[in-house]
Structure 1
Amino acid sequence: MNKKKLFFRYVLPMHGIQLLTAWMPNTDITTKIRGRLMRPFFKQCGSNFRIGSRVIINRPDLISISDDVYIAHQCYLNGTGGLKIERNVSVGPMCVIVTSKHVYENGAVSMDSKPDGVVIGKGSWLASHAVINAGVTVAEGTTVGANAVVTKNFEPHTIIGGVPARVIRTQEIAL
């Protein structure tokens, strides 16, 4: 899709909705209203999508969201490389999910980027200020601690945290 169509089909209407709903507090009702209004702009968006205020979303046309997903206020989601958020995921306030990497040329960062998709597995929780780097799959049932920077994949049902993130412990699974 060319940039002009992308701007008028996705970017402008989505930011218009965000502007119109910015005055609304972040309550259950208002996050559901905001989520319902923003659903059509994503590649795919399941039921019961809730989203807080002032979330920055790049390339929503490349972001797939499953059922029962909550994205808290002031997050940054970059869909450039493809972003898939599976069901029952909670993304805490001020989290960053990036799907592209900087390209280095002649020892310096260029204006180009290399897309690399991200998957947030079902039942995962990203605590506030977590950063998920491009190319990472957050496995099913993972808890990412506050302020963690996830640079690689981990096993399912683990609690990870730190900079860079490491395993804190494995979660017990109730059968």
Structure 2
Amino acid sequence: MHRFKKGYWMVRAFILSPFFGALRMPSYMGPSLLLLHPRNFFIGRRVRILPGMRAESHHGGKIYIHDNVAIGQSFHITAMGDLHIGEGTVISGFVMVTDIDHEYRDVDRPVLEQEYIHRRTDIGENCFVGMGARLQAGTTLGRGCIVGANAVVRGDFPDHCVIVGAPARIVKRFNADSRVWENC
């Protein structure tokens, strides 16, 4: 049964591919909840996306999911600028990634009527994002970062670090000289 679903999802991705900026094969995509402006989505080879994705491009934003990325169920991504998910990254289920904040300073206007604010967000190569994590606008992850489950992440994080908590903070770093993960 599992192989049948993956085969169906691969055929589905092939049929949908003309509606995307790029959707390279072999990749597969389970049924999505919402694809807003898929012409602005660029999906590489060997990308696996489980069901329930909600992907939105606002004001011409572009989403780049590079080669060999695995994305769990119920993934939510929104972009107003160029948002990249690096090659070899694994994103667990129920994760949200955005480069958009809502303005809220004018207390006499509803937040939904105020401007969007763009803050660059990127996920480096070979990262792992744990179940339920939230990567907020203004987050950049270096290569090989590990994000713990349910972390709420904002800020710039260097290569090869472990990030946990709400708000997220670095708890380990990889020492290239000793080749050991060290507590911070």
Could you tell me the TM-score, scaled by structure 2's length? 0.71
Determine the structure 2 residue equivalent to 1:156: 159
Q: Distance in 2 between matches of 1:49 and 1:152?
A: 26
Give the C-alpha shift of residue 122 in structure 1: 0.1
Partner of 1:168: 171
State the AA in 1 paired with 2:42: Q
Q: Which structure has the highest helix share of the two?
A: 1
Aligned-partner residue type, residue 110 of structure 1? V
Aligned partner letter, 1:118 = T
**More strand as a share of residues:** 2
Q: Which moved more, 1:59-68 or 1:163-172?
A: 59-68
Superposition TM-score, scaled by structure 1 size: 0.75
What does residue 7 of structure 1 align with? none
Secondary structure of 1:168's match?
A: strand
Aligned equivalent of 1:6: none
Cα distance in 2 for partners of 1:156, 1:165 equals 15
State, as a whole percentage, how many aligned pairs show the same letter: 25
Displacement of 1:106 in angstroms is 2.5
Counterpart of 1:114 in structure 2 is 117
Compute the displacement of 1:83 (Å). 1.1
Does 1:143 find its partner at 2:182? no
In structure 2, the residue corresponding to 1:29 is in which secondary structure? helix
Tell me the alpha carbon deviations over residues 86-144 of structure 1, each in whole angstroms, 9 at most, x when there is no partner.
Answer: 10011100000011011023336622211223110000000000110112111110000
Q: Which runs of 5+ in 2 are unaligned?
A: 22-40, 180-184
Pairwise mapping of residues 74-113 of structure 1 onto structure 2 (< 5 A)?
A: 74-107=74-107, 110-111=111-112, 112-113=115-116
Q: How many Å separate the matches in 2 of 1:90 and 1:31?
A: 22
- Preserved contact between residue 78 and residue 97 of structure 1 (Cα < 8 Å): yes
What is the aligned partner in structure 2 of residue 17 from structure 1? none
Q: Which residue of 2 aligns with 1:57?
A: 55
TM-aligned CA deviation for residue 32 of structure 1: 6.2
In structure 2, relative to structure 1, the CA distance for the partners of 1:67 and 1:31 (3 Å cut) is farther
Q: Distance in 1 between matches of 2:79 and 2:126?
A: 20
Task: Using the TM superposition, name which of 121-130 and 55-64 deviates more.
Answer: 55-64
| Aligned pairs, number | 152
Shift of 1:153: 1.1
Q: Which runs of 5+ in 1 are unaligned?
A: 1-23
| Correspondence for 2:127 | 124
Letter in 1 for 2:119: D
CA separation in 2, counterparts of 1:113 and 1:27?
A: 41
Cα distance change, pair 158–29 in 1 and its aligned pair in 2 (3 A):
same
Structure 1: how far apart are the matches of 2:145 and 2:8? 24
Q: CA deviation at 1:28?
A: 8.5
* 1:164 CA drift (Å): 0.5
Q: Matched residue of 1:105: which SS?
A: coil
Query: Residue 157 of structure 1: CA displacement?
Result: 0.1
